[in-house]
A and B are shown apart, each in its own frame.
Chain A
Amino acid sequence: MGTAISWRAPARVVRYLTGRMGMPAAVAVTDAKKIYGSGDAAVAALSGVSAEFEKGKFTAIMGPSGSGKSTLLHCLAGLDTLTSGDVRLGDVSLGSLSDKDLTIVRRQKIGFIFQAFNLIPTLDAHENIVLPLSIAGEKPDQEWYDTVVSTVGLSDRLTHRPSELSGGQQQRVAAARALVSRPEIVFADEPSGNLDSTSGAELLEFMRRAVDEFGQTIVMVTHDAFAASHADRVIFLDDGQIVAEIQNPTADSILDKMKQLGD
């Protein structure tokens, strides 16, 4: 764990300083390029993206299919590596980390909510929620765990297996899991994409509360203007580049922007 300690200390200092300056950035990406394939077949999924994701803020990423949203999210989360450019999580440049260190970063600093298949079928809801902690060999903070579980409204479902939960409940379990280890940042790729509007709304409400009440940082990819309207900020991607941005969006302002971009 030597590496973990070596980067953790400066990170604390940076966090302290950035906090002082009033512009805390949980994750920052500079001039990110991601090219798949080579030669004629090369596809630029990201062609120079720079952005900062502030601490305690809920950011949505939107854009047409194939615009590079998922790619960006994966690179931010350390699941994928950039062709060029840099991702910094706190003070750490993810590009410089080995697979082993990346794994530890993910375990300690990052939470995930995928579109589907978020849970291990053999584990019950409780076990799934504490999975990142179990992997790290840590005990959950009981108070925080209770808070999270009651916030997602799963207190009476904890012993159920994923197959015994509805799709919405499964996504809420995934959200609880993403929060329980108090990660620096949570990434979500179309978390409500598979849910009906009521379940989707419940999940988004919960994510909003996590930001408001616990100061959680969230970055979410979505297609849905209603979903994006829960965020503090919306970033629009097209062809691997950021083409627009709205602060404090509403569903209407997002739809207008999308229309405008489509023209």
Chain B
Amino acid sequence: MLKVAWSSIRTNKVRLLLTSFAIVIGVAFVAGSFVFTDTISARFDRLFEDIATGVDVVVVPDEPEFGNDFGEVAVSMPESVFDDVAAVDGVRVAAPSVGGIAQLIGSDGEAIGGFGPPTLGFSWTDESDLTPLTIAPENGRPPETADEIVLDVATAEAQGFAIGDSIGILTTGPVTEYELVGLANFGDEDNLAGATLAIFEFSEAQRIFDLEGQISEIAVGAEPGVTSEELADRIQKVVPEGVNSITSSQSTAEQTAEIKEGLGFLTTALLVFAMVAVFVGSFVIYNTFRIIVAQRTRELALLRAIGATGGQVTRMVVLEALIVAIISSAIGVIGGIVLAMLLSAAMSAAGFGLPEGPLTVLPRTVIVGMIVGIVVTVVASVFPAVRAARIPPVAAMRADLARTTRKSLTRRTIAGVVVTGIGALGIFIGLFTDTSEALSILGLGALLVFLGISTLAPIIASPVASFLGWPIKKAYRIAGDLAVQNTQRQPRRTASTASALMIGVALVVFVAVLASSLKGSINETVAESFPSDITASSSNFAIGVSPDFTEELRTEDAIGGVTTLNSGAVRVGENLDTASAIEPDTYEGVLNIPGADPDEIAALGATDGLLVFDDPDDENDGLPLGLEVTLEFPSGSTTTAEVVGTFEDDLAFGAFIMTRDRWFENVDPVADMLVMANAADGSSLDDAVAAAERAAEQFPNVDVQTQSDLIAEFESGINLLLGMFTVLLALAIIIAILGITNTLALSIIERTREIGLLRAVGMSRRQLRRMIRWESVIIAVFGAILGMGTGLVLGWAVVQALDEEGLSTFSVPVGQLVTLVILAALAGIVAAIYPAYEGSRLNILEAISYE
């Protein structure tokens, strides 16, 4: 049997090649995700280990328990802790350090970075054992006075800075100028993962980071004979509450874990796409084996006739699948390694420099990749294999018996509807309930919906093909007519080929609908809540807009009303929420707070109270007026205020609105998130923008935007995401298109005699190619339409579900959908190139005498 399986593989090389491509891509994605993540964590592990060499214990303050996803909140401890730590028995050497966010002003006068890799500032320490920073002799010297600075080698190189240059540094206040006196390496690297590093003299660092008398971290080296654990324990006893003494290996592990978590979304995304690719691939595999079995009916029947059992026939087909699976999974794993290399190259190109180092290929990667590839292929081949076993031996003699296994339509309908229904239920549960498994349930639901629809698809395949084929028939007569009929002769084959495409298209449509709805909602919110002409924000989320800028802005004649808005995470009891802060005196006309009466806002100002979100669609929520609410900020400080009113837009303002004064009693440093302004009466928007830009001149991190700029920025962010998703989903679509190619190529082999006959009675090669091409286009467009329908329904459901979260508009990107159908038709044409070529090349005589 192995021999028969092997010889079948050899004779079906091309079709199996196409099949295996589907597996290769899926497995490559799985393996690639693992290799990429493993490599990154291994490299950072090493980097952090390098950094920590010589350090045995690290003393750090507690991280805030929430709201510090981007390190917005600088934590510190009193300087006196250092003296206590240094005095502990067993401490050989200890060094304090101060750190924060410091943005460099580039050679072009603009602030560098901000939304990309972090812009870090540190204090210099002379204890070379305890710092990862080294300055090579040819690269100058450490900062010795308050006006000297050292940068990392990579940033200086990128910006063209040389020793002796004057460098502008932006923290919360205005820009400060420093003299560049040295270039530092971070461990062995020129750079810390793409971050820019600015290194200051110790007390200057304390000053600019607003940490006078405070320190951020203490690095400790142990005396010989004292273990890190022991020393960490001893130090823990002398430090105040809220300060932690941990071993450096523990700290390294924590930081690596943090990096891993930060990259987690990328890994998840990659794995999701891997799953999509594998799923689509399984359709292609299923289809290929089904057709191969159909084509070999006579051969298989002959095997049965000469005594093979049904089980043997099944095993033979599965064995064939297994051989293909092993080979292509292995190629897939190798592909995954290449993919990971490309990914890290892409990340470096995008400015997120990864530390140097080899790729990490763990046994787990190979094992999981192989298992995924093999299991999917074998499972997908099982149905065709079982069907192969049902071929009666007489089929060897009578070809017409081969295709009589037509299951009843009713059974198919019921099965399809039930599976789709269960899938829809899964999606519903995933969307509307708060289980921890929500995402998995959602994914499983979507999977079932796809399966269900692909089960139902054969029922509508014929009518849809007639409908789509009508213009083709009109235009191309017999070739068109035959094309349409070819798609109808085996509706199941057409349907399952189209279903593979459906999945990719559905996901693209889904994402597009979501993006379009999100844009719609944002436009609505911006237009409603931020009616101001101009918005100023910081290009660095960790720095904010200096109040000096706001003052400056207020002095401009072309500027009318000016107000600020801040928002961030707060905690009420156990619940995390978002709170905002406004200026009740200046908000009017610049900021709009839907659902809040002017007197409520006046009360907010007068009593320094709190406005709470009151869902207009929900009678029973919202807190009663007069209630005292205690809010906790990420920094740990708490504030209690009385509810004096309500508002209705939680997308813009979160759950609470307080005064700016109260906000900055709890948030440090005083720098605003957004400053909004209107043009003065009689001033044009252009004048106002010019005025705002003038005011922003001394504040390089402040970006001035008009309302339409603001919307455009939101939209371009969404578009970028949409583009990324689409590119990744395009892979699934490519697999599906290969599936069409595969099905067509196989159908052509199956119809060799028919094609020979058509050629014999006078059909030209061109007509033949046309016939195959339109068959392909019909399948592709059918798949696209199925996908579009499914994607729209899914998108609609999710938008409904997210209504609560502020996704108020359901918007269908009609233009994109039309483009998608056209692209699908083009894809159909491309998919047909190879089969059409093969078909038209068939030798007539051989075709006629083909068995």
- Smallest beta-carbon distance B466→chain A, Å: 13
CB closest chain-B residue, reference A120: B754
- Smallest beta-carbon distance A121→chain B, Å: 7
Is the pair B754, A132 in contact by a Cβ cutoff of 8 Å? no
User: Is A134 an interface residue, CB under 8 A from the partner?
Assistant: yes
- Interface residues of A, Cβ cutoff 8 Å to B: 74, 79-80, 99-100, 103-104, 106-108, 112, 114, 117-123, 131-132, 134-137, 163, 177
Interface centre among B400, B489, B848 (most CB of A within 10 A): B848
Neighbouring B residues of A100 by C-beta, 8 Å: 764-765
Given A80-B845, A117-B753, decide whether A122 and B762 contact each other with a Cβ distance below 8 A.
Answer: no
* Seed contacts A100-B764, A135-B763; 10 additional CB < 8 Å A-B pairs: A79-B760, A79-B848, A99-B765, A106-B760, A106-B761, A107-B762, A107-B763, A131-B478, A134-B477, A163-B400
User: Is B308 an interface residue, CB under 8 A from the partner?
Assistant: no
Neighbouring A residues of B482 by C-beta, 8 Å: 120, 122-123
**In the complex, which of the residues A74, A137, A177 contacts B845, with contact meaning CB atoms closer than 8 Å?**
A74
User: Is B757 an interface residue, CB under 8 A from the partner?
Assistant: yes
Neighbouring B residues of A137 by C-beta, 8 Å: 477-478
User: Is B485 an interface residue, CB under 8 A from the partner?
Assistant: yes
Is the pair B754, A135 in contact by a Cβ cutoff of 8 Å? no
Per CB-CB distance, the 6 closest pairs between chain A and chain B, nearest first, are A107-B762, A134-B478, A122-B485, A132-B761, A106-B762, A135-B763
With A and B bound together, what is the CA distance between A226 and B488 in angstroms?
42
CB closest chain-B residue, reference A105: B762
User: Is B767 an interface residue, CB under 8 A from the partner?
Assistant: yes
Q: List 10 A-B contacts (CB under 8 A).
A: A79-B760, A103-B759, A106-B761, A112-B761, A118-B757, A122-B486, A122-B489, A132-B761, A134-B481, A135-B767
With A and B bound together, what is the CA distance between A136 and B479 in angstroms?
11
- Smallest beta-carbon distance A16→chain B, Å: 25
Neighbouring B residues of A114 by C-beta, 8 Å: 757, 760, 848
- Smallest beta-carbon distance A176→chain B, Å: 13
CB closest chain-B residue, reference A127: B481
Neighbouring B residues of A117 by C-beta, 8 Å: 753-754, 757, 848
User: Is B844 an interface residue, CB under 8 A from the partner?
Assistant: yes
> In terms of DSSP, what is the predominant structure of the interface of chain B?
helix
With A and B bound together, what is the CA distance between A120 and B764 in angstroms?
16
User: Is B758 an interface residue, CB under 8 A from the partner?
Assistant: yes
Neighbouring A residues of B764 by C-beta, 8 Å: 100, 103-104, 135
With A and B bound together, what is the CA distance between A119 and B764 in angstroms?
17
**In the complex, which of the residues A99, A104, A118, A163 contacts B762, with contact meaning CB atoms closer than 8 Å?**
A104
With A and B bound together, what is the CA distance between A132 and B485 in angstroms?
17
List residues 463-490 of chain B with CB under 8 A from any CB of chain A. Answer: 477-478, 481-482, 485-486, 488-489
With A and B bound together, what is the CA distance between A190 and B388 in angstroms?
34
Neighbouring B residues of A118 by C-beta, 8 Å: 757
0 or 1 for each of B747-784: is its CB under 8 Å from A? (1 = yes): 00000011001111111110100000000000000000
Given A80-B845, A120-B754, A134-B478, decide whether A103 and B762 contact each other with a Cβ distance below 8 A.
Answer: yes
Neighbouring B residues of A121 by C-beta, 8 Å: 489, 754
Neighbouring B residues of A80 by C-beta, 8 Å: 845
Is the pair B844, A79 in contact by a Cβ cutoff of 8 Å? yes
**In the complex, which of the residues B400, B757, B763, B845 contacts A103, with contact meaning CB atoms closer than 8 Å?**
B763
With A and B bound together, what is the CA distance between A106 and B758 in angstroms?
11
Neighbouring B residues of A106 by C-beta, 8 Å: 760-762
- Smallest beta-carbon distance B794→chain A, Å: 35
With A and B bound together, what is the CA distance between A120 and B486 in angstroms?
11
> In terms of DSSP, what is the predominant structure of the interface of chain A?
helix
With A and B bound together, what is the CA distance between A114 and B481 in angstroms?
24
- Smallest beta-carbon distance B346→chain A, Å: 48
- Smallest beta-carbon distance B401→chain A, Å: 12
- Smallest beta-carbon distance B446→chain A, Å: 36
Neighbouring B residues of A103 by C-beta, 8 Å: 759, 762-765
- Smallest beta-carbon distance A15→chain B, Å: 21
With A and B bound together, what is the CA distance between A103 and B848 in angstroms?
15
Neighbouring A residues of B761 by C-beta, 8 Å: 106-107, 112, 131-132, 135, 177
Neighbouring B residues of A79 by C-beta, 8 Å: 760, 844-845, 848
**In the complex, which of the residues B488, B758, B762 contacts A120, with contact meaning CB atoms closer than 8 Å?**
B758
Given A80-B845, A120-B482, A122-B489, decide whether A135 and B757 contact each other with a Cβ distance below 8 A.
Answer: no
Neighbouring A residues of B753 by C-beta, 8 Å: 117
With A and B bound together, what is the CA distance between A163 and B401 in angstroms?
11
Neighbouring A residues of B488 by C-beta, 8 Å: 122
Neighbouring A residues of B765 by C-beta, 8 Å: 99-100, 103
With A and B bound together, what is the CA distance between A118 and B764 in angstroms?
18
List residues 223-250 of chain B with CB under 8 A from any CB of chain A. Answer: none
With A and B bound together, what is the CA distance between A74 and B759 in angstroms?
13
Neighbouring B residues of A74 by C-beta, 8 Å: 845
Is the pair B478, A135 in contact by a Cβ cutoff of 8 Å? yes
Neighbouring B residues of A134 by C-beta, 8 Å: 477-478, 481
CB closest chain-B residue, reference A106: B762
- Smallest beta-carbon distance A141→chain B, Å: 17
CB closest chain-A residue, reference B761: A132
With A and B bound together, what is the CA distance between A99 and B767 in angstroms?
13
With A and B bound together, what is the CA distance between A146 and B826 in angstroms?
42
Given A80-B845, A131-B478, decide whether A136 and B485 contact each other with a Cβ distance below 8 A.
Answer: no
- Smallest beta-carbon distance A165→chain B, Å: 12
Neighbouring B residues of A163 by C-beta, 8 Å: 400
- Smallest beta-carbon distance B682→chain A, Å: 74
Is the pair A108, B477 in contact by a Cβ cutoff of 8 Å? no
With A and B bound together, what is the CA distance between A125 and B763 in angstroms?
18
Is the pair B489, A112 in contact by a Cβ cutoff of 8 Å? no
**In the complex, which of the residues B489, B762, B845 contacts A132, with contact meaning CB atoms closer than 8 Å?**
B762
With A and B bound together, what is the CA distance between A117 and B481 in angstroms?
20
- Smallest beta-carbon distance B277→chain A, Å: 34
Is the pair B760, A112 in contact by a Cβ cutoff of 8 Å? yes
Neighbouring A residues of B481 by C-beta, 8 Å: 134
With A and B bound together, what is the CA distance between A134 and B765 in angstroms?
15
- Smallest beta-carbon distance A77→chain B, Å: 8
Neighbouring B residues of A135 by C-beta, 8 Å: 478, 758, 761-764, 767
- Smallest beta-carbon distance B754→chain A, Å: 6
- Smallest beta-carbon distance B487→chain A, Å: 10
With A and B bound together, what is the CA distance between A165 and B774 in angstroms?
29
With A and B bound together, what is the CA distance between A100 and B761 in angstroms?
13
With A and B bound together, what is the CA distance between A120 and B845 in angstroms?
17
CB closest chain-B residue, reference A177: B761
Interface centre among B488, B763, B765 (most CB of A within 10 A): B763
With A and B bound together, what is the CA distance between A113 and B482 in angstroms?
21
Neighbouring A residues of B762 by C-beta, 8 Å: 103-104, 106-108, 132, 135-136
Neighbouring A residues of B478 by C-beta, 8 Å: 131, 134-135, 137
Interface centre among A99, A117, A119, A163 (most CB of B within 10 A): A117
Interface centre among B482, B754, B761 (most CB of A within 10 A): B761
